[in-house]
Structure 1
Amino acid sequence: MATQKLFEGQTEYLVNFLLQDDDDPDIGFRCSEDPVEDSEALRAVGQRLRQLGDLINQEHLDSFTRDFQRVAAQQAIAQACELFSDTVNQICKERANGNLSIELNLLKVTASLGTYVAQKMPALVNEIKTAMASFINTKLQKGITEAGGWANVQIE
């Protein structure tokens, strides 16, 4: 249980880092009062994910953005998280990178899709943070933990 809570705290830290406003670099860290274990590793992973981005098909991005905005307006966060998860999985199936594990491919698309939507719809940044964290915590935690945690995540 402690391991799960630690991972969830680290995920929150990573998602906040990815979606922080470049004009206000501290904004992403305001919700985490306590220091997070492996924060340096999390920042390194976040920086690498931000640099890499992903060439997600614009059609996917536009479709997801419209659907996510509609669902979020209905305040159906569970449905928004499910939509996010389904979209990430669909994109990964279409654009798998053979050099990365399944988990890292999913993480890369999660970061790319989340940052794109947060930039296009800043009013929905909290909803996208929730969807990203939910996806990482439910779909990627086991693989990342088995690999030795965030400190051992290598994204090329």
Structure 2
Amino acid sequence: MTTSTALRPPATAETARVLPPVLASVREARAIVARELASHGLAVHRDDAELLTSELVTNALSHADGEIVLALSFVGDTVHCEVRDSSAATPVRRRSPDDDEHGRGLLLVQTLARSWGTRLLRTGKAVWFELGPRLEQPGMAV
């Protein structure tokens, strides 16, 4: 998991939507993400953002009860996407056998997102990711 200790600048725009705990919410979440990215000129992140959002919303449906909150915020050319649910159990990346249809969502998030993480809330947790320009890694040539 990649986290940053630097303070994020204030978001230039934020949106949050409550989604019902039904499978159709995955499709609705993807549509919200696509629409918001387009309206902020960040459609370049659409494919990755839709895929990662689908994974996080699906995980929330599978492992929590109740409504899900999809929150998006934008700072410059970076999008921060967060999925909140009622479960305090933090996600665990697991190694899946090649023929298993489940268990690769967090691997996708880790691979495609610039950074990601979880945070506990009073009533559950939030799992988030950011897409944007890659953060400079110590020891890597730029």
More strand by proportion, 1 or 2?
2
More helix by proportion, 1 or 2?
1
Q: Same fold (TM over 0.5)?
A: no
Normalised by the size of structure 1, how large is the TM-score? 0.29
Q: Which structure's relative contact order is higher, taking Cα pairs within 8 Å and 6+ residues apart?
A: 1
